[in-house]
Structures are given as C-alpha cells and as structure tokens.
Amino acid sequence: MAKNENKDQKNSIETTRVDENSKNQQLENFREDPNEQYLTTDQGVRISRTDDSLKAGSRGPTLMEDFHFREKMTHLDHESIPERVVHARGSGAHGYFQVYESMADLTKAKFLQDPSQKTPVFVRFSTVVGSRGSADTVRDVRGFATKFYTQEGNYDLVGNNIPVFFIQDAIKFPDLVHAIKPQPDKEMPQASAAHDTFWDFASLMPETAHMLMWVLSDRAIPRSFRMMEGFGVHTFRLVNAQGEGSFVKFHWKPLLGVHSLVWDEAQKLAGKDPDWLRRDLWEAIETGEYPEFELGIQMIPEGDEHAFAFDILDATKLIPEELVPVRRIGKMTLNRNPDNFFAETEQVAFHPGNVVPGIDFTNDPLLQGRLFSYVDTQINRFHSSNFTEVPINRPVVPVHNQQGAGFMRQTINKGKVNYFPNSLGGGYPKMASEQEGGYVHYTEKVEGHKIRERSKSFKDHFSQATLFWKSMSAGEKKRIVQALHFELGKVESKEVRIRMVNEILNHISYELATMVAQGIGVDAPSIAVGSKVKDVAGTIKDKAVHALSGGKTVEDSPALSIDRNNKSNSIKSRKVAILADNGFSNIEVMSVKQALQTQGAKVSLVSMFKGKIKSTEGEELEVDKSHITTGSIMFDAIFIPGGKESVEKLKKQGEALHVINEAYKHGKPIGAINEGIELLMASSIGQAITIASAEEKRKPVVEKGIVTLQNSQDFTAFNEAFIQAIAQHRHIVVREERAMVPA
C-alpha cells in the first residue's frame, strides 16, 4: 500500500516536470552519431569493404551470400513511404512555448498555467497541394502545425496560415482535394490550382468564395514561414477547473510581421530556388534568428454562441478582430533544426484530435470530420498504428495502456495482463480522476434528429468574402485581380470562367467581377448582384456588415489586410545584395554594410564571378554570390556603391542591369551612392525616376523607395533613409504607373 502511495505521488500530474529540454533529451536516446565509428551492418558486424560486391571472380556473377550488398540494397529499395495526401511538402523546427500569465480562468490545461514553464514544441510548415518535391513558393495555403509536448500528453494545434476553409462539411473534402490536385488523366498541373477542374468545382460551390479571396491574395505567397500568421480555423472550446466552457479561436502572430512575395518573384523562385521557404527557415535558425510567434486567442463566452450574424461553427467564417480582439497569451520560439528530415519532419504525425484536459472540440462539421481523417491517413503512411512510438511522435510523459502488438511495435509491455478490468495485474494501469489529470469530455448537451442537411445558419457564403475584398488596400485589390487573371486565364473552359465571374465574383463585388472579366475574355456582368443579404433571421441587410448582437458592426476590417495592418518595421534578417565589381568604393560598402548588419540585416556581395574583387582603396573583398547562382529575387533590397571603374563594368553587364530592373518591378528598395546612381540611370528605371535635383544633392533623396546620395560623405543620413525604405519592404504601388520597366 505504502509502495503504491509513493508511486502515485511520483506519477501525479502536479509533480510531472516538463521543461524546454524534455523532448531533446528524449530524442537523444535514439540518435546515432557516426563520428569516429566503424561502418557496420544492421547486426553490428563491422564492414571491411563497401565499394565492391562479393563475386565469383572479379568479373564473375555476384554471390547471394553477400549479406552486406543485400542489406544495403534492401534498405534503399524500402526508403520511401507514401507522402501525405495533402501537405506533402513541409519543413520542421523544434522550439518551446511559454505562456505570459496563467490562463486558469479559461482553461485547466497545465501548459497554459505557469509563465516560468517552457513546453517543448515541434512545428511543421507545409504547402498543401504539391507533392513532396514541389516548389515552396507556389500560390497555396500554408499548413502551420504545432505539437506541444506537455506534461499532460501531446496537444496538436493543426492550423493553416489562412483563418477559414474552402468547405463547411468534411464530407466535401475528398471532392475538394480531387478538384485541386493534378488532373487524374494527365497528372497536371503540379502544385497549382490554376486549372479547369479546380475552378469548375469552385464555381459550383459558393461556400468556397471567402477562402478563395484569401488564396488569391498575397497571403498565399508568403515571403517566409517566419512572416506569416497561423490560425486554428475552427472554433474550439476551453474548459476551466470548474468545468466552465468558453469558445475560442486560436491565432499565431509572427513577431517579424506578415510579408509576402509578389507573383512574378514567386514563380521565378520556384525555378531558381524551389527550397526558398525551407532554406529561409533553416538558415534563420542556424544563424540564431529564431522565428517567434505569439499565441493569440479570441474568446467567446458560451452565452454568445448565437450572438453573431454568422455561425461560429462554420469554418468558412472568421470572427473579425474588430469585433472580438485577439489577446496574446504566450510566445513560441523555434530554436533548433531537426537532425534528420525523415526521422522528424517526415515522420511527425499531427492530429487535431490530440487534445489535453482543458481543451475540447465543438460541433463544427469540418472539425468533426478531421477527427476521423488524420489517424486514418497516418496508418496508410506508416502501415501501423504504432507510429505514435516513433521518437518525434512520443509524448514526453509515460504511456501505459494495453494497446500492444501490431507492425513494428517498439515497447515491451510487461506482464500477462493486457485487458481491463483485471485483478491479476493489480487493476493497473488504472483510471485517473479529473483531479488526477484524467481527461473528461465537456458535458455539452446535444439533441437532434438524424439528418443529412446543412444548417440554415451556414447559408450566407458571400458577406465575409465581400468584407475581405473591401478591407484590402488598393495594391492588394489589384494583385487579387491579377491573381484571378492568371488562375482563370489558365482555365480552358469558357463556361467555367463565365460562371466564376457571374455566380461567384459578382456576388462578392461588382467592381471585382468587372475587373476580372476584362482579363479573361468574358463579358462583364451587366448588373451588380448580391449587395444585400438575408441574415439567419431573414432580415435583409447590407453585405459585409458583421454584427455582434448588442449593436457593434464591422464593415471594414484592417486586420485582414497585410498592407494596412500587419507589417513590422524591422529589417531583422532581411537580405540585401551589394552589386559591385573591381574598382568599387570600399568606404561606401563598409559604411552601408555595417549599418545594415547592426540592424540585423544579412548582406551579400554579388558580382559577375566568385573570388575576390578589389576596391579603389586597394582592399580586396570575397564575393559571396555570382550572378549565375543568384538573382534579385533572392534579396529584399539592392545597394550599388560608387567607384567609377566598378560602375562602368556593371553598366556593361546585362545581369547587373537586370537585377535593378527586376528589383524595381518587384517593389524592392534600392540604394545607390555617387557613381552607383549612374547604374540606375543606365537601367530601364532611368525613365521612371528623376533623381535628386541640384539643390537636393549632398543629402539623401528618397523617391519611390529608391534612396540616393550624391557628392556627399554623409553616409549616416543615407543609411538611415535606406534602412527606413527597407523597413517598408515594398514600394509597389508608387511604382506601378511606370509599368514599362521590364523584368
């Protein structure tokens, strides 16, 4: 008895300690380090020679008894497992999460109580549609899945970078995935929605309208995984120790702000560096630029379940932040790259059904269907339900149950008892009371007739799509139209294009439908429809008015816009290229480089060839990147130092001129000092900018995100202006009236 009491004390949830290193320490037991070791077979036998198979004579047939050959080849033959049916391409990172203050009033989840506790996490970012080897920068939703290794077991927040979804009911998911994936006859196109079947489906499914707007916006081409928001999408439920529930929406807010690529850049990156986002994440962590995200919650008291003009169980709707503000409750820091892609990033298995006490589900029919799908597909990937024993998937707390056996079982369960109830095994493993950390499902009252029907409260498909459109900046609107020109421009069926314009876009906005029609060979709609809408109670209202009962309405939501609300003004980890050749001004290079690096930017010297280039002052600098291996698309800003000889050489290099034109076209800040300005004027942007007038010379001049300094050594003022231009990230709108610059 006394022995069991001690054991209980040891096993108590209160005394279970988890800290930042718990997961790393657990993984250490499984790591293999080849350093200074002999090559062996899987049986541990040392190998004397691995370059030749065992043969009957050096020109004779290979012998069956060559166990080393057989084993080596067999492993290669079986190295692949099925890729994920969606979200196949992903990148992972380890880190930790820390809550800012106890959330005990809302949830009893232990990892959300103590601000001094660091809970280990593993995050996997992904694209959705493309296969494992597809490009990172395609237009797509990004997955943002987080596994919290808590002292009460694993909690998975399996979200996306877009707060809503295409469909309302999980039963439509196979149709959606079939429509958007490559067509079944010719397996084309790869990693793209721009084809007939997807837009055919979308044009017939008005519930996709809101999500389509997000996917067509800049959100779907993030500049970095570190610079995008994450969302839990569904309404979940938090439950406190008193058993009181409240509804919650989860958000991740990146501390670097939200930033995107432009479409032309994204497409080019897909060719020049298909690993763009993966590399960015990896390098940021390697160089100590740890990605940070704050966890935010929107809290809806249980009594407000029906207070909105939409249904909070409908995953095609968000709750405008202007109605229910996002409270930031903690921070996640990603600080360690995986040791092995396959063992960790590929084998990690997330599941929205992995919850801990204090976090519970709602009846959102999309969420309910997900609760079935994840384990089902994981059994297909791993051919066994024992995938939970793979190191990356193990909780950091002990697992005791009678679910033994199956392919590749690792755990050796002791004893003859594998059932419950039992007396022969002392009744163990035993049940935990709620106080002992036992999971108790929220006792929601549910009643209803069995029926295959959509709730009437899910019927309004356009109001939030309209709210999104109306909340965009002028530039964002323009880019949504361009995205539609691309996506629908690739659709061969005119019927589908017409239906998209009339049955979907015109219901979102007449302005949008008209602008899109113009670019895709379809007549503009003759009348505006859908500016009014019926709410759940049948009242006719203006569209995109989101009322919380009590009167507050939202007709414009800046929180939806990147341009208007979500940027940061830091240049931390931004990449800047210095274009130079022999005969550059070293003093200018050094001054600008140092100023940028002090602010956390990464600076690279780019020239025609690798090797060293010499400055006018005689200093030699190592070139970081040659033109052939890089391009403007791999940088956030460009700087051209003076130095007559260098600039004269660059003027004759199409590569250097192309960097300037393209960076200009993509809205990127460009800085130039003294003779460097001549290179700008020699490029096509010479026609787009005027550069400083005589009296403005000697101090930096900023025009359309181009910062110049002439006849002056006042680099401090130049650097300040250049840094400010970089902090604004893009200067697209102000440049667009001079669209003749080629790129």
What is the binding site for ligand HDE (CB under 6 A)?
Answer: 84-87, 90, 124, 126, 143, 145, 158-160, 165, 170, 173, 233, 315, 349-350, 366, 369-370, 373-374, 377-378
Shorter beta-carbon distance to ligand HDE: residue 124 or 735: 124
Based on C-alpha coordinates, what's the Rg of the chain? 29
What are the helix (H) ranges across 558-622?
586-598
To the nearest whole angstrom, how small is the minimum distance from the Cβ of residue 130 to ligand HDE?
13
From the list 154, 160, 354, 393, the catalytic residue is: 160
State the minimum distance, in angstroms, from the CB of residue 705 to ligand HDE. Answer: 35
Measured from the CB atom, the residue of 315 and 522 that comes closer to ligand HDE is 315
Give the shortest CB-365-to-ligand HDE separation in angstroms.
8
DSSP SS3 for 451: coil
When the beta carbons of 314 and 678 are compared against ligand HDE, the nearer one is 314
Determine how many CB atoms are found less than 10 A away from the CB of residue 626. 14
Q: Which residue is nearest to ligand HDE (CB)?
A: 143
b/e code 267-281 from CB counts within 10 Å (16+ = b) = bbbbeebbebbbebb
- Cβ at position 476, least distance to ligand HDE in Å: 23
Q: Choose between 131 and 377: whose C-beta lies nearer to ligand HDE.
A: 377
Q: Which is nearer to ligand HDE, 124 or 731 (CB)?
A: 124
- Choose among 205, 210, 207: nearest CA to 318: 210
Q: Which residue has the tokens 């996002």?
A: 326
Nearer to ligand HDE, 80 or 531 (CB): 80
3-class SS at 465?
Answer: helix
DSSP bridge partners of 334:
95
Provide the token pair at 508. 């979102």
Which one, 238 or 488, has the nearer CB to ligand HDE?
Answer: 238
Q: Which CB atom, from 268 or from 317, has the smaller least distance to ligand HDE?
A: 317
State the Cα angle at 366 between 237 and 134, rounded to 5°. 115
Residue 125 or 276 having the CB closest to ligand HDE? 125
Q: Where are the beta strands (DSSP E) in 624-711?
A: 625-626, 637-640, 670-673, 701-703, 706-709
- Least CB distance from residue 314 to ligand HDE, whole Å? 12
The candidate with the shortest Cα–Cα distance to 502, out of 529, 533, 476, 479, is 529
The crossing angle, in degrees rounded to 10, of helices 510-519 and 474-489 is 50
Determine contact, residues 331/296, Cβ cutoff 8 Å.
no
Minimum gap (Å) between residue 170 Cβ and ligand HDE: 3
For 735, the token pair is 């440049």
The DSSP output letter for 430 is P
Considering the complex, what minimum distance in angstroms separates the CB of residue 366 from ligand HDE? 5
**Cα distance between residue 647 and residue 622, in whole Å:** 18
Is 160 in the active site?
yes
Nearest to 108 by CA among 150, 70, 140: 150
CB of 299 to ligand HDE, least distance (A): 19
Give the H/E segment covering residue 734: helix 732-735
Cα angle 19, 21, 25; round to 5: 125
Among the listed residues 4, 6, 29, 87, the single catalytic one is 87
Residue 208 Cβ, how far from ligand HDE at the closest point, in Å? 13
Q: Is 164 left (phi over 0), alpha (psi -120 to 50) or beta?
A: beta
User: Closer CB to ligand HDE, residue 113 or residue 377?
Assistant: 377
Q: At how many degrees (to 10) do helices 474-489 and 209-216 cross?
A: 100
Residue with Cβ nearer ligand HDE (349 or 689): 349
Sign of CA dihedral 262, 268, 270, 273: negative
Burial 462-475 (b: 16+ CB within 10 A, else e): bbbbbbbbbbbbeb
Q: β-pairing, 637-640 with 575-579?
A: parallel
At residue 553, the 3 state secondary structure works out as coil
- Complex with ligand HDE: residue 158 or 634, whichever CB lies closer: 158
Shortest Cβ 371–ligand HDE spacing (Å): 9
For the bound state, the minimum distance from the C-beta of residue 647 to ligand HDE, rounded and expressed in Å, comes to: 48
Distance CA 664, CA 731 (A): 9
Q: How far is the CB of 513 from ligand HDE (least distance, A)?
A: 27
Closer to ligand HDE by Cβ: residue 345 or 573: 345
Cα angle at 446 between 444 and 448, to 5 degrees? 170
Helix (H) or strand (E) holding 655: helix 654-665
What stretch of H or E contains 678? helix 676-682
- Cα 373-374-380 angle, rounded to 5 deg: 90
In 3D, which of 444, 479, 426 has the Cα closest to residue 362?
A: 444
d(CA 633, CA 274): 12
In this structure, the number of other CB atoms found within 10 A of the CB of residue 216 comes to 24
Minimum CB distance to ligand HDE, residue 344 (Å): 11
Q: Are 522 and 512 in contact (CB under 8 A)?
A: no
Active site residue 87: yes
Q: How far apart are CA 559 and CA 159, in angstroms?
A: 19
Catalytic residues: 87, 160
